[in-house]
Every structure is written in structure tokens, then in C-alpha cells.
Structure 1
Amino acid sequence: MAHSSWLDAFLVEPGATIDLEALDPRDRSRFPDEESARAGIEADAKAIDDLQDRLYAEGRRSLLVVLQGTDTSGKDGTIRHVFGATGPLGVHVHPFGPPSREELAHDFLWRIHRACPARGTIGIFNRSHYEDVLVGRVRGLAPPEVIEQRYAQINDFERLLVESGTVVLKFMLNISKAEQGKRLQGRLDDPAKHWKFNEGDLADRALWDEYREAYRIMLERCSTAHAPWRVIPADRKWARNAAIAAIVRATLEAMDPRYPETTLDASSIVIR
């Protein structure tokens, strides 16, 4: 399958009405089998490394990858498998937890803008500014009228990034409640994974329906022509990784970064 065919995969069309329950978290329709999908991940990861090297050398544009999803949806695993082969010089991962006291003293996008990728680099957000319309909405961390303002503010912020040379890829990792339950139980059953378990995850799980509604609103309000959302089936880890790897590769190929031309005459230089 040509990688260009992945550019429109799992897109949320701007202005579309979203029914998250109609989107199958176990969808594997784009993959003939798990074995070929895993081989595709490996090939795409190597290609991403090469493309990132060219992006870094070019030094004119950047790529921002936003990973948003509920607990256990696989943000860390996605980063590990899709970008594990990429040289660390030009890739930066930023996990976003609750804002610090200093961050709360500024507008909600202040800490986000500081973490955006510089020209020539790939930035990966593990959670993001969308926490402020997800957790913020469900937990009532800001007045409703403030939450309402944030959707347009986010769209304007992302337009600024795009117009400044940053391509924005946004992935919602769509996991089912049943699969999340299995993964949380797996953390409890394995002592080596107890450190991953947080009782706060259960509090959020109890608000599953409220979070799904917050995600629906987020997708409908913030999937734009300049920075559309993609809803990735995340119940099958290999399918999730394969889809995102293929989309990232296709996006970088479409950007077509080039090594800069130089006037260096290498044949005239002798290394002694």
C-alpha cells in the first residue's frame, strides 16, 4: 500500500458530527494480518529516522505529534515503537501532567508553547493542551464559559504553529472501556507493573461516559483544516502502532525535507 494513502486515514473531517461509539476500537481493516503490520512498523520507523535526519539538516520546518487518550490507551507504547529507531538529537518528548504553580500563573497555553518543537525537530506531546478541555471540563477545573473559550483559542494557537512552519498531527487513541479494564488489571496482576498503577485512574474510569462526551466535543470543535484530528483504533496495540507509524511516515514524505545544498568541493579536501 502506498504510504500517501495514509494521509487521510482515520481523519475527523472538520465540521463533522462524531459518534465515538460507532468507531470500532478493534478495527483492523487496514491491515491484512498482524505479522505484516509489525513488519510495516519496523520499516516505517526506519524511514521516519531517515526523514527526520533530513528535516533536521534542512532546519526550516518542524513536526508536532499530539498523542491524547485515556489511561492505558498506549501513548508511551506508541512513542517507543514509532520513534524508537529515530536519533534522539532531533526528537523531543514532552509529557504533560497537572500544571505547576508557575504554569497556573500564566494562560493555559503558556507551558504548551514553550514545549513546541523548534525548526528541524519533531516534538511529541504525551497528553497536551487538550487536557484543559478534557480534565478541565469533566472535573470542573475552570468555569464553563472559560472552557468554551478554549476551543477557539486552541484552534487559533494551532493555526499560528502551522503558519509558522510546524505541521501538526493529532491522534486520539480510541480504547474501549473493556480493554482499559484488562490493562489496568494487568498492572495489578504483575508486581513489576505496580508502579504504573494509580488509584486516580479508577476515579477517571468511573467518569468514563463524561470523558467520552468531552472527547466528542473536543473532536468536533478542534478538528480543523489546518490541524485535523485522527481517531486511532487502540484496542490492538500492533494496529495502533502500525497506523500511527504509517501516518507519520506519510506526513514526513509529503513534507519532503531536503538536505541543504552547499558549495563544498569534497574532492579537493584531503584528510590526513
Structure 2
Amino acid sequence: MYDPRQRLVALTLLNNGLTAAEVHRRTGISRNTLGKWRKDLPRAMAQTLPSCPRCHDRSLDSAVYAYLFGLYLGDGHIADAPGDKGVFRLEIACGDMWPGLIEDAASAISNVMPGLKVGRLRSTGCTNVGAYSKHWPCLFPQHGPGMKHTRKIELVRWQREIVDRCREDFVRGLIHSDGCRTVNRIRRHKADGEVIYEYPRYFFTNASDDIRDLFTEALDRLGIAWKQNNPRHISVARREAVARLDEFVGPKH
């Protein structure tokens, strides 16, 4: 067994591209052990890093966490890592048509859990951005079996405090995951011909009543008018409400 601090130094060096021979020379850890760690650095890092803000009293950027939490509630999930008991993988599904969103999700994960290797797994039409850690359930206690809309989604006290402080970031994460900004077009026939009116609006779609309630509650507290079009869809269409969302959300990129 190696001292956790020594192990972390070695893994960081491997993660930065140094060879096993060079890391051995600097740390004294055997090349055989370094080779095993190098085969799957993300999991080795996840098993080593004491980086959980909930377990290790580390500071947490509330605004970035609120944004990542919104992404997780929308298009995120946490799964057990195959073969590694107690290790989990957080993944955020990001549409490939929005490369900026992919980068934002990766940056948010790195900020909330520094030192983890953030990976990108390609799928049809999307990229799953994620990382391994033992502590994702600590940061997202809403994790549980089954799809999110089949179970109760409630904020614990410390999450409520963050969301209340960082409502704009939370709403931005929700819209970036399960929402969009579109331009609505209406045709009107007049005596002198057809006229087309265009105006922007936002949509948010989620199957979970609890998640939609969290979204609309945040809008209410921000003073942003909204309307429920059907059981799963929320729209924001009033000019002043759209302008307010444009201040901190805007179109996906």
C-alpha cells in the first residue's frame, strides 16, 4: 500500500503524460503498479482523490455546482462503474450540435471535482461527458435506481441553499440540458398580403413533476413569467421574460 498523497502525486504525473519510468524515478512507486494504474487512470484517480466537498470539507463553487446540478437533473445520470465497487460514473448527455455545451459540461465537472479525468464517450448524435468518483452520490443525493421521473426528487438542505443563492445558474443548467431557445413564427393574412411575425421563446421539457416544479419555482423567484403548455412542457414567451432569460441563458452554442 502506498501513502495516498504519494499515490496522488504519481497519478497526477501519469495523467500529465509522464512515462512510468519517469514517475518511478520521482516517486519510487514500482513500474508494475504504475502500469496497472495507467491502464485506467480515471478509475485510479477516482479511487484516490479525497476531493469531495461534502466529505472532506473542501470549498465548492456554488454557481458552478448549481449549473452542473441543473445539467444532471436534465440529461445526467450516475451509474455504478463496472468491476469497481463503490465507484460511480457521472455522465451528462450533450447534443453534438452544441459543442459549447460539451465544453461547459466538462468544465463544470472539473471545477466541482478537481483532478478527475473528464472523458467524452461518443454516441449517436450526442457526446456523454463524464468522470469516475466514489463521491458523486454525496454531491447528487437524488441518485437512485430507475429513471428520475419514477422517483421523488427533493433538494436536501445544503442544495436548497445553493439553488436559492444561484438560481440563474441552476435555471441555465436546466435549460441547457432539457430546454431550448427558439424563434416562433406566426403567419397573418391581411388585405395587402401575408405578414409573418417572429418572436423568441424558451421551452423546457421534463417528464418529472418534481424537476419541472424546481424549474418553475426558480423562475417565479426570479420574476420570470412562464406557462405550462401541456403536462411536460413549460414555455417562456413574454417579451420581458425572454429578455430576462437572455441575460444569463441565451441560445445553446
Q: Same fold per TM (> 0.5)?
A: no
Give the TM-score of the pair, scaled to structure 2. Answer: 0.26
Higher Cα Rg, which structure: 2
Give the TM-score of the pair, scaled to structure 1. Answer: 0.25
Which structure features the higher share of strand residues?
Answer: 2
